[in-house]
A and B are shown apart, each in its own frame.
Chain A
Amino acid sequence: MTTDSIPVVRTTCQGAWWRGLPAGLAAFVLLALVAGPAWGMPQEAAPEYRALPFISSRVLMWAVAELHLMFAAFVLAVPMFALVIEFIGYRTGDKRYDQLAYDFTKLLSVSFSFTATLGALLTFGLLVFYPALTQYLVKIFSWTFLPYVLLFFLEAFFLYAYYYGWGKLSPRLHLFIGLMLNLVGTAIMFIANAWLTFMNTPNGIDDMGNLTSLWEAINNYTWMPINIHRLIANVAFGGAIGAAYGAFKFLGAKTLAAKAHYDWMGYIGIFVAICALLPLPFAGYWLGVEIYAYDQSLGITLMGGTFSWLFIVQAVLIGNLFLAANYYLWLSMARIPGAERFRGFIKYLLGVITLCFIVWATPHSLVATVEEARAMGGSHHPILNVLGVMSAKNTAVNLLILTTYVSFLLYRRANKEATVSWARIGNWIQFGIFAVVVIYVVFLGVYGYFVDAQTRIGLSRPQVLSVLFAMASVTVIDLFLFKNAKSRGEIVWGKISARSQYALFFLAITFTWLMGLMGYVRAGMRQHWHVYGVMRDTSVDAFTPTLGFAGGVVSAIVIVFFLLIAIVFFLAGLSGRKDWTPKSGSRWNEEETTVSTEPA
């Protein structure tokens, strides 16, 4: 594949550092106008809350915080895989990887400005609308603010140095800057995570809420699980948005070379997203276990109480994610010669995915009419009941992950024919590993119904480890199995249906929706507490919104996010356009002609 015809202009994105400034100032002025009357009043006791006309301040802060989080996740994730791709390009000397990493990086500068602007808006909003809460959090975490701000400056420096230094700096220095960008970005996220996890699972304080240990407050029950969960989820999210950008460019590409490049970009983006998606349920499960361990009330609110229905919505979205990811891989086989011999497997893979999807999405408490409930003998169906609990869910998600891995394995093998003498035995060993692990995972799932809750929770660990073992060992065998393999033909990048690109859009939207939904659940499970068990929410909004309202707000946030991402895509795409030239006969042309013909 060549990238000669892919237009890359690296000098048209100048001045990006100040893009966030006018928007930030505008936000400040807006908030000043809203809060102006309160600020102008004589000094009395500071109010605990301030209200907005037309819209609840809670909904506004909800939307701003979520949008900030989405852009921050994207800005943190893209440098991670961009750096890896750049490193591959550096090691192999293949310029295509360098170009691909740069294409992903192009999305960063505007996104970083949006992140900063939304972050400023969030900070101002907290100060104006929730002054008492902000004051309390400042009291607890004041020592963390200085490193946070310093790291933020460093992130700005490294991010723009990484972007503008592309091709200008030595490759090693550039890679080092990319590494520093990742480390600084991760450290920023860890600090911010300490603040928000403290609100859910406060620690390091006395009975009166006074700080006794800053480290304990930071290292609360959910800090590290959230750090890990977000780190992985950010990569999945960033990969999916990057893939959507590839799909956007693919659909608008005019040349075969451009189509090939953006097809490849979409594939790499979604490959990154799927790789991160596979361990994500395990990280989520760990977070859930920690929440339960901190306080059963929070755990029950989350999984069995008020928010349990949102987990059914989550299950439907995750099931769709797995289905769409597999669907994309199956469609991708069209570009690989020799893949047709694996088509017959699709129906079996789809069968397993559908079955696991159904188990994953089956609620524990059913929506039933009185008549239906009486026929069932209560709120629980005697057969479906067993599918509604964690033993079944864990088994289903582990099998979903294994099935997706098999789809990828088939994709990887599509144009290869093993030439090693032990190929047949190797295949049987791989099949044996899969069979044993599947039986073991199902056995543990069933066994979970016959043991106490603590043992059942512990069973998830061998399930996860056995699935990871299967994927790792089969991959290692596969690498040796297809070493010096005979090729059935090169992958024809760009030879793929438009449906696959819409699948990439679907994946990006679903990831974003899921993120918005789970973000709401994580914050909302505190219910009428700002800081759980320490600082009560006494505002007029101290109630849990209905599921429909919450779903509507999350959906609106997702729409706004994609409108903003469309701007990011548009601006990133400008750098690839040709320089503007006046049309012949236009006023601009005439002026230029006039100037050039004037005597010196």
Chain B
Amino acid sequence: MNLFVLLGIAAVMVLIQQVLTRWIQLNRIAWLGIWWVALWAAFSYGINPPLPNSIIVLFMAIITIALMAYLSADNEELEEARQSIVRFMVAQEYRIALVIVLLVIPAAVAAWTYASMNEAPQPPSSGRTIHPPPPSSITFAGNSIDLATANNPYRELEHTDEAAFAAHVANGRRIYFQNCFYCHGDNMQGAGMFAHGYDPLPANFNDATTIAMLQESYLFWRIAKGAPGLPSESTPWSSAMPAWELFLTEEEIWDVILFLYEYTGYEPRAQGMPH
């Protein structure tokens, strides 16, 4: 959050309400316009890192609809607003203001067009799918693994044999730092030494919306098959993840999964349950 900007916007709003309204009578349309500008400024400049333009457009569309609903939810207020617009359009006293508005609107459009044409060229943005859906089963070293029912075979050691479990986690730690941390980073935030070279960036496992929401069999599939194993739907995936089945054994992959959850403190999503 950019608190300085947000407080500034709030201060201007208070000033308008407490000071400006002593001299100028602001009708409902003017107030709604002020609110619209204030919220646009808050979304555009009050949040750090900045929101993508697509999100600002979405939020402002919702706010515009809401403000329009507020304006028209009361018959008397709407009629008053309509009359004030008509007054502004026809009354002699507003002639100069009307001319200014009629000049400012096309000038603003022209300025916006000029500014957007002068922006540095960018590749088009697109809605990217984050979680590729896994197949129902995969083959690993010639054996078929059903992803709907597969469990980490070493997970139950957590309760039955703590020493053996700790050994598997330690093995997972070794594998992670030998193979994975170059991209996913030493604290699993997706900020490894090679990360800056990728688009999109490597997954951040500390994020509550990545491995915390997934079953272990899903992670097994992603690690084992990597980018070459991604489904044909929702392409391009733009993933640089290697197919680790070529370098690691099945046990090593399950071990590294244990380590990922152990390090981040998350629990894997359980299988099945409701019905």
- B65 located at the interface, meaning its Cβ lies under 8 Å from any Cβ of chain A in the complex: yes
A309-B127 contact, Cβ under 8 Å, with A371-B122, A378-B200, A381-B51: yes
Inter-chain contact A305/B133, CB cutoff 8 Å: yes
Q: Is the CB of A380 within 8 A of B269?
A: no
Secondary structure of the A contact surface, majority rule? helix
* Contact of B199 with A by CB under 8 A: yes
Taking CB atoms, residues of chain B closer than 8 Å to A320 are 65
Query: Cβ of B218: which chain A residues have Cβ within 8 Å of it?
Result: 296, 300
Known: A358-B62, A379-B130. A296 touches B52 (CB 8 A): no
B210–chain A nearest beta-carbon distance, Å = 9
CB proximity of A116 to chain B, nearest CB, Å: 34
Which one of B63, B70, B212 lies within 8 Å of A452 (CB-CB)? B212
What 1/0 flags go to B36-59 for Cβ under 8 Å of A? 000000000001011111110011
Give the chain B neighbours of A533 by CB distance below 8 A.
136
Tell me which of B15-23, B72-80, B92-100, B246-254 binds A: B72-80
- Which has the most chain A C-beta neighbours within 10 Å: B66, B122, B214, B218? B66
Contact for B130 among A295, A304, A357, A454, CB less than 8 A: A304
Q: Would A304 and B131 be within 8 Å (CB), given that A323-B66, A379-B200 are in contact?
A: yes
Given contacts A297-B133, A364-B130, A389-B209, contact A350 B274 (CB under 8 A): no
Please, which residues of chain A bring their CB within 8 A of the CB of B212?
452-453
| Bound Cα distance from A286 to B75, whole angstroms | 41
Report A-chain residues with C-beta under 8 Å of the C-beta of B51: 381, 384
- Distance in angstroms between the alpha carbons of A65 and B98 in the assembled complex: 55
In this assembly, does B81 line the interface, its C-beta being within 8 Å of a C-beta of chain A? no
Residues of B within 8 A of A3 (CB): none
A449, B208: Cβ atoms closer than 8 Å: yes
Given contacts A297-B135, A306-B133, A379-B130, contact A323 B69 (CB under 8 A): yes
Q: Please determine whether B204 and A378 come into contact, CB atoms closer than 8 angstroms.
A: yes
B271, CB-defined interface residue at 8 Å: yes
With A296-B215, A373-B199, A453-B267 already in contact, the answer to whether A383 and B52 are too (CB < 8 A) is no
Q: Are B274 and A293 closer than 8 Å at their CB atoms?
A: yes
B29 cross-chain contacts in A, Cβ below 8 A: none
Convert B114-150 into 0s and 1s, putting 1 for each residue whose CB lies closer than 8 angstroms to a CB of A: 0000000011111111111111100000000001100
Are A295 and B53 in contact, with the CB atoms below 8 A? no
Kindly state whether residue A555 has any CB partner on chain B within 8 Å.
Answer: no
Contacting B at CB under 8 A, from A301-337, are 301, 304-306, 308-309, 316, 319-320, 323, 327, 330-331, 334
Is B148 a contact partner of A296 (Cβ separation < 8 A)?
A: yes
Give the CA-CA distance A528 to B169 in the complex, in Å. Answer: 38
The answer to whether A370 and B199 touch across the interface, beta carbons within 8 angstroms, is: yes
A353 to B67, CA, bound (A): 12
Contact B136 A290 (CB under 8 A): no
Chain B residues positioned under 8 Å from A388 (CB to CB): 209
Q: Is B266 an interface residue (CB 8 A)?
A: yes
Any B CB within 8 A of the CB of A385: yes
For the residues of B in contact with A, the DSSP-based class is loop
Query: CB within 8 Å of A: which of B185-238?
Result: 190-191, 199-201, 204, 207-209, 212-215, 217-218, 233-234
Q: Once the chains bind, are B52 and A380 in contact (CB under 8 Å)?
A: no
CB-based nearest B residue for A365? B130
* B272 nearest CB across to chain A (Å): 5
A134 at the interface (CB under 8 A from B): no
Docked complex Cα distance between A298 and B136 (Å): 9
User: A331 — which chain B residues lie within 8 A by C-beta?
Assistant: 73, 75
B275 within 8 A of A: yes
Residues of A within 8 A of B103 (CB): none
**Residues A368 and B65 in contact, CB atoms below 8 Å apart:** no
User: Which of A327, A347, A369, A375 makes the CB contact (< 8 A) with B49?
Assistant: A375
Bound form: Cα–Cα A536–B199 in Å = 34
Question: At the interface, yes or no: B101 with Cβ under 8 Å from chain A?
Answer: no
Which residues in B have their C-beta under 8 angstroms from that of A484? none
B131 touches A366 (CB 8 A): no
Are B132's CB and A296's CB within 8 A?
no
Does the CB pair A375–B50 fall under 8 Å?
Answer: yes
Nearest B-chain residue to A378, judged by Cβ: B201
Cβ–Cβ contact B233 & A527, under 8 A: yes
Closest residue to A448 on the B side, CB-wise?
B208
The answer to whether A305 and B131 touch across the interface, beta carbons within 8 angstroms, is yes
Most B Cβ at <10 Å: residue of A221, A300, A385: A300
A296-B271 contact given A305-B131, A385-B207, CB 8 Å threshold:
yes
Query: Which residues of chain A have C-beta atoms less than 8 A from B49's C-beta?
Result: 375-377, 381-382
Q: How far is the CB of B199 from chain A (nearest CB, A)?
A: 6
Which of A365, A368, A527, A547 is packed against the most chain B CB atoms within 10 Å?
Answer: A368
A323 and B62 alpha carbons, distance in the complex (Å): 10
Give Cα A363–Cα B59 distance, bound, in whole angstroms.
Answer: 11
- Give the complex CA separation of A480 and B147 in angstroms: 56
B105 at the interface (CB under 8 A from A): no
List chain B residues, Cβ under 8 A from A115.
none
Chain A residues within an 8 Å CB radius of B270: 453-454
Question: Which residues of chain A are near B209, meaning CB under 8 Å?
Answer: 364, 380, 385, 388-389
Given the interface pairs A306-B233, A346-B74, A361-B62, the reply to whether A290 lies near B125 with Cβ below 8 Å is no
Q: Which residues of B contact A368 (CB under 8 A)?
A: 52, 54, 125
Taking a contact as CB atoms under 8 Å apart, the answer to whether A453 and B213 are in contact is: yes
Nearest neighbor of B47 in chain A, beta-carbon distance: A383
Q: B163: CB under 8 A from chain A?
A: no
Contact of A350 with B70 in the complex, beta carbons under 8 Å: yes
C-alpha spacing A296/B133, complex, angstroms: 8
8 closest A-B pairs (Cβ-Cβ)? A452-B267, A304-B131, A301-B133, A368-B52, A367-B54, A453-B269, A354-B66, A378-B201
Known A372-B125, A378-B201; 11 more pairs at CB < 8 Å: A221-B275, A293-B273, A296-B217, A300-B131, A334-B75, A358-B62, A366-B55, A367-B125, A379-B201, A382-B49, A384-B55
9 contacts between A and B (CB under 8 A): A290-B274, A297-B134, A304-B133, A330-B74, A331-B73, A357-B62, A372-B50, A374-B199, A453-B267
Residues of chain A at the chain B interface (Cβ within 8 Å) = 221, 286, 289-290, 293-298, 300-301, 304-306, 308-309, 316, 319-320, 323, 327, 330-331, 334, 343, 346-347, 350, 353-354, 357-358, 361-385, 388-389, 449, 452-454, 497, 499, 527, 533, 543-544, 547
